Amino acid sequence: MTNELIAITVLWGFIFIYAVMATMDFGAGFWSMIYIHRDKANATKIANRYLSPTWEVTNVFIVAIVVALFSFFPGAAFLLGTVLLVPGSIILILLAVRSAFLVFAHVAKEYEKALTYISGITGIIIPALLISVLPITHGEFIDIRKGVPTLDLERFFTSPHAYSFMGFAILSTLFLSSLLLADYSLEAGDGEAYRLYRRNAWITGPLSLLMTGGMMLTMRYEAKWLYDKMMEYWPWLIGSVAMFAAAGIALSLPSSRHPHVRGRPRLAVIAIVIQYFLASYAYGKAHLPYMVYPDVTIESAFTHPDTFRALFASYIVGFLILFPGFVYFWRLFMHDKRYVRPK
Amino acid sequence: MDDVIIARSLFGTTMAFHIIFATLGVGIPIMILLAELLYQKTKDYDYAVMAKRWTKGLAVLLGVAIPSGTIAGVQLSLLWPGFMEVIGKVMSLPFQIEIYAFFIEALFMSIYVYAADRISPLMRIVSVFFVALGASASAILITNVHAFEGTPAGFRIENGEIVDVDPWAAFFNPSFFVTAGHVVLSAYMTGAFVLASIAACQLLRAAQNEQVRRFHQKALKLSLTVGGVFSLLTAINGHESAQLLHQYQPEKLAAAEGLFETQSHAPLAIGGFTDAKTQSVKWAIEIPWALSFLAGNRFDTVVKGLNDFPKEWWPPLFVHTLFNAMVGIGVLLLFLSAAALIWQKWRKRPAFPRWLLYSFVAAGPLAVIGIECGWIFACTGRQPWVIYRMMKTEEAVTQTGNLAVLFALFVSIYILLSIAVVLVLRYYFRRHPVADELRKPPNEGTLPV
Ligand code: HDD
Ligand code: HEM
Ligand code: HEM
């Protein structure tokens, strides 16, 4: 593997982890808002119990993405920084409101409802804006005027391609988070919340798959180069759809450990994560070598080789230091019955 | 040109907002750690309550520190893409390592807050320790980028190309240790004084039971001690910072002191306003020879004046006021902690008189003002450079327009968050008075947060 490929793989890995963690994070915030008025099923409590300790860690990943981007590919920093100024600023503002009000809602119990609404609604818009960075990198909305790159906002906001990405982001946020919360509810032994979240997953899952169809369709017209190259990776795409089906089956099987409920959500979560992995691998691979089509490639944007080596060494050391911390964190919040299932 | 000014104002406002919460996020964990250690040592339940309440406050503050920091980090790339291109090639290590520090802080903060009742006292102390370590490390690392802007190293620019890159030489640039030390020490000092202000405020309120008074007295004593120690260290280290300026950014020191003519036995100007027309600092108190001594530890040290530099390289002259304010506050707070110490040791009085309490109330806000003045001095005093003698600020700025609208949007968000955070903190601590928490039996073993 070349240095460029290693770097883009690391970056892609961060984006993938963030995509999974963030959809769960934003989705959990949304569901905790939806059920706040009639929380017989403890659905809000369960969502919050997942959300409280994790949002801070999730947020670090978005920072890690930005840092990995400009440190591995500083040549992309100029173009991306310039064209993303407006969408990026809007994301930042929403993210600030969302995170702050999430924390405030836990502290100021009397105003919890209003504050939860603010963080829930802003939280569901953010994924749509975040994902819109992808169609922007397909190049069709960027003009170079007098040597200055600009984002054509009008073309962007009238593009079906952009909207299909946004719709996909919202639906898969809802889908992935319902699935995860279903698993978390079952772990907590809460049958009623489990049934609620399982039902939500049944509804949003097929819808999000439908949206991916929409994405491919619009891509065919608006980013033909990418569409053609993605089709070369068709086995990955087929595999991805197969994992989706596998998740559906896992949700229908009788549970081994819980006799009175249907479904094995842990299996379904794993299948869906693999589904997203396969699909985004195909997408990422097809996107190469372009970071921003057609102006910036991973070679043209790459950092200085000595800097890359130093960064890479720091990644290894950082991973070794952090790994035990992540394991400890996981054990305390995802695995410890005293936390997941309080008396 | 206009866009450069708006971009600078926008970024400066973001940083000025972030730094309040960030500094407290660096300073308060140290205080929590000390309270936890004191609790384990003395078994005095007051300290457990102290740690718990400070943690609650910290959690709320981090709710603003983290998103505003995220804004800062991303805005750096959005507003200064030219700068970030250089940073990416040369100075990305500190950013990268900072991510690990953020992870450590975020993981252990969640563990400390949400798992406090399930982990052993030792693990609890280990967790706060890691929170404090993560916060301090992130401050040190981000400050390193700032240090690099003032004393760049590890690369050259040749015909617009970046050559001779040495990332570790950039990382260990000449002002790294002193500057990072100054930021961390001043953050510890500020965290302590802000908590001292709160305790003093509570002690000034009438009609409280004895138990509550004792609680606040302990909190005040602890935070004044820590604040005093760190204000001394900050001042000593600040002196070194000034000597670094003398060595590496002489026109910044000249602007800070309003010195126009290069001279030995240079005087130190305190207060007043620098006037470019008369080439003097109007209405200042001058201490003869002092500047030379401060800059090089000898009265015959030659200090460079502004006239030695082309006028377009001059930093804005008002930085003199910012510098004076920072140093003045540092000296004032040092005296204040000394006064507290003397009062307690020599007068052998258990309680402070009201006038002294009132001045403790001012200590926290003053320290925060000191931080703001110090930073605005350091960043504005670097103008017109974003990387000293390497890259001008206007070469680094984004080419996109629309900045004015964004500026307005961000400012409104900062105002909204400021109001909300004050309301939430007030609401929480009104609802959960100390008296209630002190009344709880200490036999619960661990403290639920
Ligand atoms: C409570 C806060 C506080 C206090 C009391 C002081 N400082 Fe400070 N100072 C800072 C907070 C700060 C800071 C905000 O942390 C800065 C801004 C940039 C930096 O590196 O640290 C800073 C910068 C800074 C610089 C500029 C470094 C540069 O531009 O690269 C100098 C020369 C000093 N300080 C010197 C002093 C002296 C001589 C002090 C005497 C008491 C002092 N500071 C007290
Ligand atoms: C946190 C406290 C900080 C405050 C209050 C602050 C304040 C400011 C202000 C007021 C400006 C505008 C300067 C002017 O135009 O006159 C500025 C610019 C800038 N600062 Fe800082 N700053 C802080 C920390 C940092 C740090 C840690 C870095 C390094 C990563 C940094 C990097 C920059 C850059 C790149 C600019 C824009 C270019 C320039 O104007 O030179 N700042 N900052
Ligand atoms: C010297 C001034 C600064 C200090 C002392 C400081 C310190 C801090 C602290 C204590 C936090 C909370 C960390 C956490 O809980 O995870 C934080 C957050 C953050 N800061 Fe600053 N910061 C400073 C300047 C900056 C600058 C200039 C940037 C931009 C480059 C920045 C970027 C960030 C980011 C991205 C976060 C959010 C991290 C997360 O997602 O957890 N900071 N900072």
- Which two structure tokens, joined as six digits, stand for A58? 């999730």
Encode pLDDT of B167-189 as tens digits: 899 999 999 999 999 999 999 99
In a domain, B346, yes or no: yes
Query: Cα torsion at B432, B437, B439, B441 (round to 10°)?
Result: 140
In a domain, B440, yes or no: no
In a domain, B448, yes or no: no
* pLDDT for residue B441: 54
Q: Tell which wins on pLDDT, A113 or B216.
A: B216
Instruction: Report the domain count for chain B.
Output: 1
Across the interface, do A329 and B109 touch by the CB < 8 Å criterion?
A: no
Across the interface, do B70 and A62 touch by the CB < 8 Å criterion?
A: yes
Mean pLDDT, rounded, for B297-318: 88
Closest CA to B17 of B69, B87, B79, B75: B69
Closest CA to B85 of A303, A119, A145, A65: A303
Residue A220 — very low, low, confident or very high, per pLDDT cuts 50/70/90?
confident
DSSP for B137-199 reads HHHHHHHHHHHHHHS--S-EEETTEEES--HHHHHT-TTHHHHHHHHHHHHHHHHHHHHHHHH
Residue nearest atom 33 in ligand 1 by C-alpha distance? B238
Across the interface, do A60 and B77 touch by the CB < 8 Å criterion?
A: no
Residue positions counted in chain B: 449
In a domain, B441, yes or no: no
Using a pLDDT cut of 70, give the percent of chain A over it. 94
Would you say residue A267 has pLDDT above 60?
A: yes
The range of the structural domain enclosing residue B97 comes to: 1-434
Which residues 27-66 of chain A have a CB within 8 Å of chain B?
52-54, 56-57, 59-60, 62-64, 66
In a domain, B443, yes or no: no
In a domain, B301, yes or no: yes
Residue B449 — very low, low, confident or very high, per pLDDT cuts 50/70/90?
very low
Do B293 and B246 contact (CB within 8 A), yes or no? no
B-chain residues within 8 Å CB-CB of A311?
92-93, 96, 167
C-alpha–C-alpha distance, residues B116 and B449, integer Å: 7
B-chain residues within 8 Å CB-CB of A99?
63, 66-67, 70
Q: Tell which wins on pLDDT, B33 or A143.
A: B33
Q: How far is B389 from chain A (nearest CA, A)?
A: 21
Ligand 3 centroid distance, CA of B22 (Å): 6
Encode pLDDT of B426-438 as tens digits: 988 888 888 777 7
Ligand 2 atom nearest to CA at B76: 35
* pLDDT for residue B249: 92
In a domain, B416, yes or no: yes
Average pLDDT score over chain B: 89
DSSP helix/strand/coil, B287: strand
Residue B349 — very low, low, confident or very high, per pLDDT cuts 50/70/90?
low
Q: How far is B107 from chain A (nearest CA, A)?
A: 6
* pLDDT for residue A40: 57
Mutation to test the A interface, candidates B55, B60, B75, B89, most A Cβ within 10 Å: B89
- Exposure letters B366-376 (e unless 16+ CB within 10 A, then b): bbbebbbbbbb
DSSP helix/strand/coil, A108: coil
Encode pLDDT of B361-406 as tens digits: 999 999 999 999 999 999 999 988 999 888 988 888 888 777 889 9
In a domain, B138, yes or no: yes
Ligand 3 centroid distance, CA of B369 (Å): 19
Q: Does B103 touch chain A (CB under 8 A)?
A: yes
Using a pLDDT cut of 70, give the percent of chain B over it. 96
